[in-house]
Amino acid sequence: MMPDGKHFLYDATTTHGQIHIAMGSLDSEEAKLVLEDASAQGYAAGFLLFSKGGGDDILAQPFDPDTDKLSGKATPLAKADSVSAAGASILAYQGISTTSRLQWFDHSGNPLGTLGEIATYISPKISPDGKQVLARVADPQRGTDDLWSFPVSGGVSTRLTFGPAGAKVWSVWSPDGKYIAYGGTAGEKKVIFRKPADGSGDAEILFTTSSPDRIPVVVDWSPDGRFLSYDYYNTGEEREQSWILPLMGDKKPFQVTHTDASQYDGNFSPDGHWFAYFSYESGRPEVYVVPFPGPGGKFQISHTSGWLVRWANGGRLFYSTMGNRLMEADLALNATSVQVKSIHPLFEMKPPNLNMPLFDVTPDGERFVVVTSDRPESSSITLVTNWTALLKKQ
């Protein structure tokens, strides 16, 4: 909002995908262009704070809200993703890192080595035989965004998908390790693909959604190979939901459990009889377990927040707190109920600033592959006092 309480700055996107800063008014539907190829970060002390061209430089430039005009020159303040200013006295900014390493850790959090080079990794998945790690790898400079398989013992990685960036999302291994499944696009359609894990064949469509603008996010493949778990945004209920796609019969998707809040990350237990997920039904993310395919009771596992759920053998369930602490819950599972025997922290992960799955665990629960930020210091917030003095020095 501008000081007059009537005008406001906002970002708008053109049909060609370019972002620009515009000014609107509570009294009118008219919008005025302020700056092209830029994103607004705020207004304070007579300066427009913004980033330019998708870069990470926060710039400040004199701006008159009465005339909607910029003047003078744009001066860089800091490299950051987000910034907030309180007049001329205090400025806070935070750098966001999305580049990372695929790093191995033991059960105590000791590093065991890395896979691949520094990149933007998402949703690592360890193959059933433990010899490969599947991950989505983005390269913004080249405009690619594809699924790769990395040999655990070292060697040359394998690119498994090709095509436009943003058209593939998280992937999973089939129980026998022969296939991968992932969400993507086929023309205008949003689909789930299956493809040979060694890259030897073309992708085939397993399922086509009814929505033209939502890609299904494949999360897990049941141990018996008969079901896929995927996340999908329900536009009618305006929330994310966990769905099951049968790979036989009528292949009609169904929900294991329905909640009145967004739910994510549905994972099958190693014996296929239980289904773990996290949901915001309590107001914050917590981990729950229900019988699969149901019906039955619901059991809350975490109590102080939990998300990003992964199973290991022996009734062991791993998840992350909102503070990126890896937790282990030891469960007693019988035919109809779940008892939480213990929950204990393992180690703090240092992931990049991405709201996506960023770790996986070996079946024995003793080793973890974690997407680790190459700039862990980016999680800190920097405060600058008398920040306008920086503009006078440049």
pTM above 0.85, yes or no: no
Q: How far apart are CA 55 and CA 238, in angstroms?
A: 31
What is the domain partition of the chain in residue ranges?
Answer: 7-96+378-392, 100-374
Bridge partners (DSSP) of residue 126 are 133
- Residue 199 gets the label, from left (phi > 0), alpha (psi -120 to 50) or beta, of left
Q: How many CB atoms lie within 10 A of CB 18?
A: 13
Q: How many CB atoms lie within 10 A of CB 210?
A: 8
The full DSSP string for 162-208 is -SSTTSEEEEEE-TTSSEEEEEEEETTEEEEEEEETTS-S--EEEEE
- The predicted structure's pLDDT at residue 141: 59
Q: 100-374 — its CATH code?
A: 2.120.10.30
Residue type, 161: T
CB 232 within 8 A of CB 214: yes
Grouped pLDDT means (10 residues each) for the chain, 394 residues: 90 77 90 90 91 81 89 87 84 80 94 89 94 86 78 89 72 95 87 91 89 85 96 86 93 91 95 95 94 92 94 95 94 92 94 84 95 74 87 68
- Long-range contacts of residues 104-112, Cβ cutoff 8 Å, at least 24 apart: 104/367, 104/368, 104/369, 104/370, 105/347, 105/367, 105/368, 105/370, 106/366, 106/367, 106/368, 107/346, 107/365, 107/366, 107/367, 107/368, 108/346, 108/347, 109/326, 109/346, 109/347, 109/348, 112/367
**The two three-digit tokens of residue 76, written as one number:** 């860089």
Strand, coil or helix: what is 390?
helix
- The predicted structure's pLDDT at residue 326: 96
